[in-house]
Amino acid sequence: MSEQQKVALITGANKGIGLETARQLGKLGVTVLVGARDAAKGEKAAAALKSEGIDARAVKLDVVNSADVKAAAKWMEREFGRLDILVNNAAINLDGGMGHETSTVSQEVLRETFATNFFALIELTQAVLPLLRKSAAGRIVNVSSRQGSLALLAPEGSEIYKTKTFAYDASKSALNSFTLHLAHELRGTKIKVNSIHPGWVRTDMGGQNATLGLAEGAKTSVALATLGEDGPTGGYFHLGERLAW
């Protein structure tokens, strides 16, 4: 690997938007680390990317497993000495359909959702931040959702007004808050931190009625992962447009 070749870690990258993000970054010459909680599925995904001429490595990474997080950070330090791009893509949605009633959603669903979509993401980001500080241009992309935008959820008549999935929505709102706070702390450094909404994408989570394919769904993550020095930080974006928090 040349000194100029960037290294990107993408969580939940063995399928869906994560895999497509890895593919698009890889085709730009980035070494992609395919984070997957199932090691075999991660290896299979990395092999598929390699067959396309991409420098891909599988990383066993169940984001809610602290041992995996620590081991992955130590491995990246030994192997590369730095990390240039972190795409926090892994997420779950346990609400199902239009969501549970907010008044009856279980503590189990709330805690499990936040464990993956919020707490694990923060733990991983904190664990690899020393490696991102060693990059000439560190980039953190937090894959959120427009469901995390209070400004879009609140107005009656908005496109997503009737789609209330409380546990998922609240976890993404919390993630957006993390983006704002971390970007503020890192202002003045070479690290940029942004949230993105990938769109309604045809994945296991999005379903087959979704309006966007995987290529379009990964586009915003890739754009924010490869921002130039004059790019934004502390923002919330979808396909080049800034979203309201």
**Hey, where are the domains in the chain?**
7-242
- Contact in structure between 12 and 33 (CB atoms under 8 Å): no
Per-residue pLDDT reduced to its tens digit, 25-44 = 999 999 999 999 999 999 99
Query: How high is the pLDDT of residue 210?
Result: 60
Residue 143 backbone phi and psi in degrees, to 5: -80, 105
Query: How high is the pLDDT of residue 215?
Result: 78
Compute the chain's Rg from CA coordinates.
17
Residue predicted with more confidence, 200 or 134 = 134
Tokens linked to 146? 């427009």
Question: What is the Cα–Cα distance from 24 to 116, expressed in whole angstroms?
Answer: 25
Task: Confirm whether 168 is a catalytic residue.
Answer: yes
Percent of the chain with pLDDT strictly greater than 90: 83
Per-residue pLDDT reduced to its tens digit, 150-201 = 999 999 988 888 888 999 999 999 999 999 999 999 999 999 999 999 976 5
Percent of the chain with pLDDT strictly greater than 70: 91
Q: Is the pLDDT of residue 99 over 60?
A: no
Query: How high is the pLDDT of residue 97?
Result: 56
Closest to 243 in 3D by CA, of 171, 173, 156, 168: 173
Residue 194 backbone phi and psi in degrees, to 5: -140, 155
Domain spanning 7-242, CATH class: alpha beta
- Burial (CB count within 10 angstroms: exposed 0-12, middle 13-18, buried 19+), residue 33: buried
Q: Among the options 118, 168, 200, 237, which is catalytic?
A: 168
